[in-house]
Amino acid sequence: MNFYGKNKYNCVVVGIGAVGVEMVRLLKKRNFPCASLSILARSERIQEIDGTAYYVKTATPDAFEGMDFAFFAGTEGAKGASQTLGWEAVKRGCVVIDNGDDFRMDPRVPLVIPEINADALKDHQGFISNPNCSTIIALMALAPLHRVARLKRLIAATYQAVSGTGSQAVKELERQVKEWVDGRPISKEVYPHQIAFNLFPHIGSVKDASGETTEEAKMRRETHKILGDSSIKVVSTCVRVPVFNGHSESLFAEFEKPISPAQAKDILSRAPGVKVLDDVSNSVYPTPLQASGEYDVLVGRIRADDTIPNGLALFVAGDNIWKGAALNAIQIAEVLTQRRQADVGKSP
C-alpha cells in the first residue's frame, strides 16, 4: 500500500467475465496509469479483448506479489475470489477493490461511491468494496438530495438487466429471442423462468421469513452504510427484465425537509456523475438503452409525490456493468492515486 515515489501502478484484474472484461477496457479507456496489467482467473488461458490477447494466469496468493491494485470483478450474488484471495492480496501490499458482496458490511471495509462518500477511503485497511449495482445507481440520484433535505424513507422498484447476472445470462436472453422468432421451444438454464418477453420479481435468494430477497436487503443495508444513517427506511422490489444492459429504477423518496421538483432538478444538474433528462412532453427521460455505455447515471421524471409529506418521485437508469461495477471500482483507484499525488505535492 506504499504508493509513494510511484507515478504508475502494477494492476491486476481478478476474474474475466462480463465485469472483468469491462475493467480491462475501462483501465485503458480512462488512461489509468498502469505500469503493468495482469489478469487472474480460475484457469490459465489466452483471452482476447478488443483485438488484444491477454495471458490469463491462475489466481494464487503469490500472484499478488508486487501488485499495487487488485480489481476483483465478482458478480451479482456470487461468492467471488475475494473470499479466499482478497486479504491475501492485502497482506502482500496490494490495495483490493472488490466488486463482490462478501465484505460490503465488514466494519473494516469502506463501501464507496466516489462522488458520494470518498472520505470513507481515509485510513482504509487495504480492502475497499464496491456497492451493489442497483444501490449505486439509486444513490447517485438520491445522495445529492439527501445532503440538502435528508432522506427519511425510500420505496424503490428496480428493473435490472440480465448483464447483472453475467455473460451466460446475456447469451440466454439472446438465445431465447432467437428460439421465439424461429418458433422453437424456449430453453432455460440460467434463470428459473423464461426471461425473453417476460420479467420476474426475483433477484438473489430469500434468507428469512420476511420474504425480502438478498438483492433487496443489499439496497437497504448498503444505503445505510454509504449515507451513514441507519434510520432511513428502505423497501424495494427488485425485478429482472429482458434488457441486455442497463438497470432502471423507480424511486419514491420522502425527505425531512421540503424539496420541490425544480430544486431537485437544479441540485442534480450540478451533481457529479449525474445527467438530468427530464422533458416528458418531448419523450426525454432515462432509458437503459441510453444509459448503456454512459459514465453518468441518468435521472428524469422528477415530480412531487403528494401521497407523503416532502415526497419526490424519480426515474433513474445507469450502466450496471460500468458505473454499477467496473467504472466505480476504477474511480475508487483514481481517487487514491490522485490523493497520493496531492500528498506528494505537499511534501517539503
In this predicted model, what pLDDT tens digit does every residue of 159-187 receive, in sequence order?
999 999 998 999 999 999 999 999 999 99
Least confident interval from 106-110, 205-209, 234-238, 342-346:
342-346
300 and 333 together in one domain: no
Residue 147 one-letter amino acid: R
**Per the domain annotation, does 2 fall within a domain?**
no
pLDDT tops 70 at residue 345: no
**Per the domain annotation, does 293 fall within a domain?**
yes
216 and 304 together in one domain: yes
CATH of the domain at 112: 3.40.50.720
Q: Domains in the chain: how many in total? A: 2
pLDDT value of residue 38: 95
Give the three cell numbers for residue 153: 424513507
Average pLDDT over residues 281-308: 98
pLDDT tops 50 at residue 76: no
The domain in which residue 302 lies consists of 135-319
**Per the domain annotation, does 306 fall within a domain?**
yes
| Among 44-58, 70-84, 283-297, the range of highest mean pLDDT | 283-297
84 and 50 together in one domain: yes
186 and 116 together in one domain: no
**Per the domain annotation, does 337 fall within a domain?**
yes
Q: Is 142:135 a contact under the CB 8 Å cutoff?
A: no
- Write phi, then psi, for 34 (nearest 5 degrees): -85, 125
**Per the domain annotation, does 13 fall within a domain?**
yes
What are the residues facing 34 on neighbouring strands? 9
Least confident interval from 127-141, 155-169, 291-305, 330-344:
330-344
CATH of the domain at 277: 3.30.360.10
Specify the pTM: 0.95
**Per the domain annotation, does 3 fall within a domain?**
no
Give per-residue pLDDT as tens, 129-143. Answer: 999 999 999 999 999
- Active-site positions read 133, 247
pLDDT tops 70 at residue 77: no
124 and 154 together in one domain: no
Q: Say which DSSP state 111 is in.
A: B
Give the C-alpha separation, 210 to 229, whole Å: 22
173 and 126 together in one domain: no
165 and 287 together in one domain: yes
58 and 86 together in one domain: yes
179 and 267 together in one domain: yes
188 and 311 together in one domain: yes
CA 88 to chain centre: 24
111 and 144 together in one domain: no
76 or 206, higher pLDDT: 206
Least confident interval from 76-85, 92-101, 112-121:
76-85
83 and 31 together in one domain: yes
Q: Is 26:328 a contact under the CB 8 Å cutoff?
A: no
258 or 167, higher pLDDT: 258
pLDDT tops 70 at residue 331: yes
**Per the domain annotation, does 173 fall within a domain?**
yes
Average pLDDT over residues 243-267: 98
